[in-house]
């Protein structure tokens, strides 16, 4: 882009979308996009995926260590006890449901929950952050129950997070495979380097704004279809395609009209997303348990049709979609479910930002006109 020669504000060419820019150090997660490896605190998620619970992941992100049995029990209890919302917040949800999307309601809930918390010194912040981890899941369940005019189901702190959420959402005990599937989902989406929502949480925390402000920013950022909103759109597409034989024409049309196909492409991964094979395997198991393979097979066919045309990677959102749908979760709750997992990473990142803070303040290059002649309003 050519700039006016005497533009005093001219600074180097910006990196669009900050692609490839390393903005900070982190001890939380690392993504090797060339090899398709995701690690939490040094542990490969291939090892964590089927062998741990979401609560163990929270311990890992908060403590930088996998827990022993005692620490895990303590964490399970703390998160369980946090699955409670103040009555006033439930009243606000009642006002909002049906008038706005679940994700917008969730953003408001996170913001309002901040009013019930005191400002505390950094060393007392982890329990406050953990409360939000518990509360977000209850909020998602209550949003759903209230809009369906179903009674709210109270949390049972003795249960694991995934199991209790499914019970609060559907009003019945989930099967073991359903609990395993949700645990896997929650583990795999808990953190992912400087993704857009985590970055926005850290930018907010970097001003020393409070935890709830940072997480409100993150929830808003996650809601967009290029980030967390892609899972819902991916499922809409799978349902719309409907049969394997429709997939080829649908995908060809999408390419011809230069549409982005939801659940494909990634800024960092050059090979398939590290989380994809685990999500795909678990989604398949869920649909096998239901003895209903049609939608899963449509998803596989869409993936094949995309890859036959262009080497675009399959990202986390594509097989998250049939996994969540297989748990009878309505598509407009998919992004809130993403938030229910990513809250572990967001809060851990906010704590990390506060521990070693420097205001995050990049620059923009001014490319507009300069030295314009000012005219008083009556002459314009």
Active site residues: 266, 317
Rounded least distance, CB 318 to ligand CMC, Å: 7
Q: How many residues does the chain have?
A: 380
376 lies in the binding site for ligand CMC (CB under 6 A): no
228 lies in the binding site for ligand CMC (CB under 6 A): yes
Q: Which is nearer to ligand CMC, 97 or 264 (CB)?
A: 264
CB 146 within 8 A of CB 167: no
Q: Which is nearer to ligand CMC, 199 or 296 (CB)?
A: 199
Q: Which of 230, 344, 348, 351 binds ligand CMC (CB under 6 A)?
A: 230
CB 165 within 8 A of CB 153: no
Q: Which of 26, 52, 138, 195 binds ligand CMC (CB under 6 A)?
A: 195
> How many Cβ atoms sit within 10 Å of the Cβ of residue 312?
16
Q: Which is nearer to ligand CMC, 61 or 75 (CB)?
A: 61
CB 198 within 8 A of CB 228: no
Q: Which is nearer to ligand CMC, 50 or 255 (CB)?
A: 255
Q: Distance between CA atoms of 219 and 312, rounded to whole angstroms?
A: 27
Rounded least distance, CB 259 to ligand CMC, Å: 7
SS3 104: helix
Q: Distance between CA atoms of 143 and 140, rounded to whole angstroms?
A: 5
Measured between alpha carbons, how far is residue 213 from residues 72, 332, 360 in Å? 28, 24, 16
Rounded least distance, CB 237 to ligand CMC, Å: 10
Rounded least distance, CB 333 to ligand CMC, Å: 16
Q: What are phi and psi of 30, to 5 degrees?
A: -135, 140
Stretch of residues binding ligand CMC (CB under 6 A), selected from 27-35, 116-124, 147-155, 312-320:
312-320
Q: What are phi and psi of 329, to 5 degrees?
A: -95, 125
Q: Which is nearer to ligand CMC, 315 or 341 (CB)?
A: 315
- 11 exposure class (CB count in 10 Å sphere: 0-12, 13-18, 19+): exposed
Alpha-carbon Rg of the chain, whole angstroms?
Answer: 22
Q: Distance between CA atoms of 72 and 82, rounded to whole angstroms?
A: 15
365 lies in the binding site for ligand CMC (CB under 6 A): no
17 lies in the binding site for ligand CMC (CB under 6 A): yes
Per-residue mark of binding to ligand CMC, 253-282 (x: CB under 6 A):
-------xxxxxxxx---------------
Per-residue mark of binding to ligand CMC, 313-352 (x: CB under 6 A):
--xxx-----------------------------------
Rule CB under 6 A: which of 39-58 touch ligand CMC? none
Measured between alpha carbons, how far is residue 214 from residues 8, 32, 287 in Å? 34, 26, 37
198 lies in the binding site for ligand CMC (CB under 6 A): no
Residues found near ligand CMC in the complex (CB under 6 A): 17, 195, 226-228, 230, 260-267, 312, 315-317
């Amino acid at each position: 882009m050519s700039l006016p020669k005497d533009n005093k504000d001219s600074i180097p060419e910006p990196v669009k979308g900050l692609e490839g820019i390393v903005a900070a150090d982190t001890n939380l997660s690392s993504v090797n996009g060339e090899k398709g490896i995701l690690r939490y605190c040094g542990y490969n998620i291939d090892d964590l995926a089927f062998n741990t619970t979401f609560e163990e992941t929270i311990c890992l992100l908060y403590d930088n260590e996998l827990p022993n049995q005692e620490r895990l029990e303590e964490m399970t209890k703390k998160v369980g006890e946090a699955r409670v919302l103040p009555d006033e917040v439930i009243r606000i949800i009642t006002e909002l449901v049906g008038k706005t999307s679940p994700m917008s309601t969730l953003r408001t809930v996170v913001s309002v929950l901040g009013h019930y918390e005191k400002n505390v010194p950094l060393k007392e912040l982890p329990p406050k952050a953990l409360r939000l981890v518990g509360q977000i899941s209850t909020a998602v369940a209550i949003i759903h129950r209230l809009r369906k005019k179903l009674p709210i189901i109270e949390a049972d702190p003795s249960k694991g997070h995934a199991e209790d959420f499914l019970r609060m959402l559907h009003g019945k005990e989930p099967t073991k495979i359903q609990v395993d599937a949700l645990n896997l989902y929650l583990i795999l989406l808990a953190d992912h380097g400087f993704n857009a929502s985590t970055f926005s949480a850290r930018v907010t925390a970097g001003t020393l704004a409070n935890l709830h402000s940072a997480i409100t920013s993150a929830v808003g950022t996650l809601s967009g279809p290029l980030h967390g909103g892609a899972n819902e759109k991916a499922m809409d597409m799978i349902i719309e395609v409907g049969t394997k034989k429709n997939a080829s024409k649908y995908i060809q049309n999408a390419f011809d009209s230069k549409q982005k196909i939801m659940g494909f492409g990634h800024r960092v991964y050059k090979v398939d997303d590290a989380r994809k094979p685990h999500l795909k395997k678990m989604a398949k198991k869920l649909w096998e348990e239901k003895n209903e393979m049609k939608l899963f097979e449509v998803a596989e066919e869409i993936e094949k049709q995309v890859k036959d045309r262009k080497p675009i990677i399959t990202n986390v959102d594509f097989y998250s979609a049939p996994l969540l749908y297989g748990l009878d979760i309505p598509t407009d709750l998919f992004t809130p479910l993403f938030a229910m997992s990513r809250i572990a990473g967001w809060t851990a990142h906010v704590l990390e930002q506060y521990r070693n803070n420097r205001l995050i303040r990049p620059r923009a290059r001014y490319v507009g006109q300069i030295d314009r002649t000012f005219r008083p309003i009556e002459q314009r």
